[in-house]
Structure 1
């Protein structure tokens, strides 16, 4: 693997600037992260002065980038001018022909195609509430998203059209638009090409403004359905302010690291080469939309879409497109680092690789820093309900706190509370609550769930965390996945981190096994690295050398195949739990 020169390690003088002073510098009047107080839904919150008002402004910015390349997908290449002319044409069709008005819901259900972005910008710019659905969903799940949101129009690709076909009649749609497919299912879907023309003609479309409904920054913009692993998903109702707050927050980590080193923030360089971002996660996920697509447009950067996740294809694209920045969940990062192609690909263009979406073993952070010595790793922590990033860790702070998800961004407050919602002292474990202008307005059409998960502007994350004296947040476990063994709390993340540190283990999932007396015992499943070997007995003995006895798994299922995951890359622990329970029962019966 071709490498650039390594970044010099931080000297004994680091940090040159304290955390308090760093935040003061970056949020001062005139600074890029300057804040002010505003009242939002009855709560006084800090907001970014530099945040744009609405996503229609981002659409107009996208039009201004002209003949720059924008989207690359499987050999197809579209410029900003062509892409945003197509979006403008679709926006006019949605408004004039299909009657979509401000506040109407527009469903987008497709894999990562350029048309996903066209549909998003068309709908958002005319005031529709864009409602992306999980492209992995079955037909009844897609139909649920349409009916639950009350969408008037849905735009879908071929696979989604096929799955949805038996349910279309019950969806009460005013319009169904199909992308890159023929309608062989009798749905009456209108091909997108019939409405805006073929892809090769986008650049010749008229550049006529769409109807502008007049956006308020706190108007609804999106409904993003949560990637829950059980039950029906809930639709998080995001506003323009929520989304545009996140755009600024994702830039904060690097700025904080720069000031901590005692350096000045670099001045904008209009002559700098166009940056290239690679998107390996779904656009329908909050990371794909809020933290990749929208910031890419605002920066006039290039976006490379992956048809489906594959670590070897990922590495090929980084090399071929000279990718500068990308993202992923920890399991994806592990697969990249362990790929047989890793060493032979030229990855020297990469200068940013963020990850999040699941607990991250410190072993991954240290491994990453070793293999990418010319820049320092970073991670973000957030949720669909926080419009992506609320907390972040990067560079020297991350290497010194590799087991922490980091510090809150300037506009977010965090606290750890007990079961009654009372704030706990620093260092004690409890549920993490987050408050800020990025927190969504609630759950669409679900007042009960909204009341359960939001209190006076605070979002209840469901994550068990602690906060240290410096303010660093440590993710211990999901509240619903925490094990209680004989009255002792057992945090799965701690055990997973130990198992992943074993040289033969790529990934680990800890789940509870029922026990008549103790209530639960610790069980685990591990995925081995390619070509590695380890037995259950070896791994239990290894864990016993590093964990308190009550935390040591009594059973470890060893496998080579990848864990099942949901569309956002999170491990499906309920599925793994059922698998381990079945294996455990068979072993018990045999004994």
Structure 2
């Protein structure tokens, strides 16, 4: 595998190896402010921030965090949708020398509490709507301070006056928080004078910049330690892959959430590194997205298959001018070939599939945007990235192209390890190779293909869902004797969550009752969409439920239906 056959297909503009800047992530914001000070860095629902304003705001955030006791290496949680505050907080935390821990705003109290306890965050920066949830669990965590912001804080007039009424109507939640004790208003922090930047004391090779939670290959979610070097390397790879784009000259659409490593790296970090303008949307809505593309004219549009599918299914898509889009890299889930072709026809731009994991910052492979593309393939490894197929029989590198095995990778974007889990970190590596848990093969040209997943993780609509999370909740229901969760094919979400349930004798529970129950204890994207009641579940001789058998049954049903 050291021969790297894929390099023969690299366009001359893409180097096989890159010289990476030996500097921490926040220093890129310092440089962007110096080079592009008056250029717009962020557009958010009509409000814009220049790179100088973004930089000054991050400095204020860092100074305030230090003022309330944050020291080098402390963890600070960020639970925000894509917004100016999310970008400001991300860089402010790192300027303070602390570690960012991203939280999905859809998390329930249960999920928040687990992650807060595991990472030991002292501060959380959150949306006002989420404050009631935080208050319910704060006494069970190490949180000492809550910094609260609101969507209206970064809306232009008159949207900032109207939005609170819309928010109240939509959610029924009105949050009034006093700026005292351990509660702090983000808006008040922004009223502070701009402090002088202090030297950054960061070891780029070893200091984590981010703890990004994932289920990894097994078990409960784990904090993936991504160093400054990991993230700088992956964003640099992304830059050379998109070699036709001009530094300081592009506009990138930020729909993929920044609490997902894909959005964090390919939109936020890349944009600051290259001086791009970020057009942010706090949530995905088809009409809003189409209108935004037509008005803001983004040239780069990272997304997930479900986003492209939803846009293509809108009957009015041809009424919008989407011709500004030059390139899209699709991640988070497999990209259907027909979706790729249709989206390229509509926009005139290129849409290619990439591949990666949270543990790899995230991208390891992609198809060429302006070069050879192979249908059904995840593409080839990025610069400085090596990949190998470990044989299913021997667990050693495959001897010939086309042989099935587990994909393993090496590269500067591969994580430092799992937070406080040295044994699990060790199990994830073999002879220096990171084990992805995905089964695939490489063809003679060096293009890779995914066939199946070794792990049981479900990818629905770009979200990673770990069956054990859902099963733990199901097993707490008094009527359930046995339960197992699996991902089944779904034409829109890629996969959807299905629960197979054996009820205790004498109990009768409807699908609707289970749905109501799960929605109280799980984020909406984790809630099963299908329930199947059975007398018994397939098991091994020692009683382990065979999830794979159920998945095979679903595939067979689908084949019979389509044949």
The alignment partner of 1:281 has SS state of coil
The 5 Å alignment of 1:131-210 reads 131-180=101-150, 182-183=176-177, 188-197=182-191, 205-206=193-194, 208-210=196-198
Q: Give the match for residue 206 of structure 2.
A: 218
The answer to whether 1:100 aligns with 2:94 is: no
Question: How far has the Cα of 1:253 moved from its partner?
Answer: 3.3
Question: How far has the Cα of 1:71 moved from its partner?
Answer: 1.2
The answer to whether 1:414 aligns with 2:367 is: no
The 5 Å alignment of 1:273-288 reads 274-288=249-263
For 1:176 and 1:269, locate their aligned partners in 2 and report how far apart those are by CA, in whole Å: 39
The answer to whether 1:109 aligns with 2:103 is: no
The answer to whether 1:80 aligns with 2:51 is: yes
For 1:358 and 1:436, locate their aligned partners in 2 and report how far apart those are by CA, in whole Å: 22
Question: How far has the Cα of 1:444 moved from its partner?
Answer: 0.5
For 1:228 and 1:337, locate their aligned partners in 2 and report how far apart those are by CA, in whole Å: 32
The alignment partner of 2:417 has SS state of coil
The 3 A distance-change label for structure 1 pair 581 and 406 is farther
The 3 A distance-change label for structure 1 pair 578 and 290 is same
Question: How far has the Cα of 1:581 moved from its partner?
Answer: 7.3
CA displacement 1:511-559 (0-9 Å, x = unmatched): 9xxxxxxxxxx99654589xxxxxxxxxxxxxxxxxxxxxxxxxxxxxx
For 1:83 and 1:104, locate their aligned partners in 2 and report how far apart those are by CA, in whole Å: 23
> Contact 1:236/1:385 (CA < 8 Å) preserved in 2?
yes
Q: Give the match for residue 327 of structure 1.
A: 302
The answer to whether 1:308 aligns with 2:283 is: yes
Aligned mate of 2:340, from 365, 369, 372: 365
Q: What RMSD in Å do the two structures reach over aligned CA positions?
A: 3.6
Question: How far has the Cα of 1:50 moved from its partner?
Answer: 3.5
For 2:372 and 2:389, locate their aligned partners in 1 and report how far apart those are by CA, in whole Å: 21
CA displacement 1:456-507 (0-9 Å, x = unmatched): 432211111110011100011212459xxxxxxxxx99xx9xxxxxxxxxxx
For 2:418 and 2:487, locate their aligned partners in 1 and report how far apart those are by CA, in whole Å: 34
Q: Give the match for residue 508 of structure 1.
A: none
Q: Give the match for residue 498 of structure 2.
A: none
The alignment partner of 1:575 has SS state of coil
Aligned mate of 2:61, from 75, 78, 90: 90
The 3 A distance-change label for structure 1 pair 195 and 230 is same
The 3 A distance-change label for structure 1 pair 579 and 304 is farther
For 1:339 and 1:144, locate their aligned partners in 2 and report how far apart those are by CA, in whole Å: 39
The alignment partner of 1:433 has SS state of strand
> Contact 1:442/1:454 (CA < 8 Å) preserved in 2?
no
Q: Give the match for residue 95 of structure 2.
A: 125
CA displacement 1:82-123 (0-9 Å, x = unmatched): 12111101111112x122222111111122221111111011
The 5 Å alignment of 1:142-541 reads 142-180=112-150, 182-183=176-177, 188-197=182-191, 205-206=193-194, 208-226=196-214, 232-255=220-243, 274-372=249-347, 374-395=348-369, 399=373, 401-419=374-392, 421-425=395-399, 426-480=401-455, 526-527=490-491
For 1:402 and 1:49, locate their aligned partners in 2 and report how far apart those are by CA, in whole Å: 31
Q: TM-score, normalised by structure 1?
A: 0.70
For 1:312 and 1:229, locate their aligned partners in 2 and report how far apart those are by CA, in whole Å: 37
The alignment partner of 1:405 has SS state of coil
CA displacement 1:315-361 (0-9 Å, x = unmatched): 11101111111111111111111212211001111111111111122
The alignment partner of 2:134 has SS state of helix
> Contact 2:9/2:372 (CA < 8 Å) preserved in 1?
no
Question: How far has the Cα of 1:232 moved from its partner?
Answer: 2.8
For 1:24 and 1:218, locate their aligned partners in 2 and report how far apart those are by CA, in whole Å: 33
Return 5+ residue gaps in structure 2 as ranges.
151-174, 461-466, 468-485, 494-517, 536-549, 558-563
The alignment partner of 1:359 has SS state of coil
Question: How far has the Cα of 1:173 moved from its partner?
Answer: 2.2
Aligned mate of 2:528, from 575, 578, 581: 575
For 2:343 and 2:376, locate their aligned partners in 1 and report how far apart those are by CA, in whole Å: 14
The alignment partner of 1:94 has SS state of helix
For 1:351 and 1:576, locate their aligned partners in 2 and report how far apart those are by CA, in whole Å: 36
Return 5+ residue gaps in structure 1 as ranges.
1-17, 28-32, 36-47, 256-265, 483-491, 497-510, 512-521, 530-563
The alignment partner of 2:366 has SS state of strand
Question: How far has the Cα of 1:26 moved from its partner?
Answer: 5.4
The 3 A distance-change label for structure 1 pair 166 and 221 is same
The 3 A distance-change label for structure 1 pair 327 and 570 is farther
Question: How far has the Cα of 1:280 moved from its partner?
Answer: 0.9
> Contact 2:391/2:403 (CA < 8 Å) preserved in 1?
no
> Contact 1:69/1:80 (CA < 8 Å) preserved in 2?
yes
For 2:533 and 2:295, locate their aligned partners in 1 and report how far apart those are by CA, in whole Å: 41
For 2:490 and 2:103, locate their aligned partners in 1 and report how far apart those are by CA, in whole Å: 31
For 1:570 and 1:240, locate their aligned partners in 2 and report how far apart those are by CA, in whole Å: 32
For 2:437 and 2:88, locate their aligned partners in 1 and report how far apart those are by CA, in whole Å: 34
> Contact 1:91/1:126 (CA < 8 Å) preserved in 2?
yes
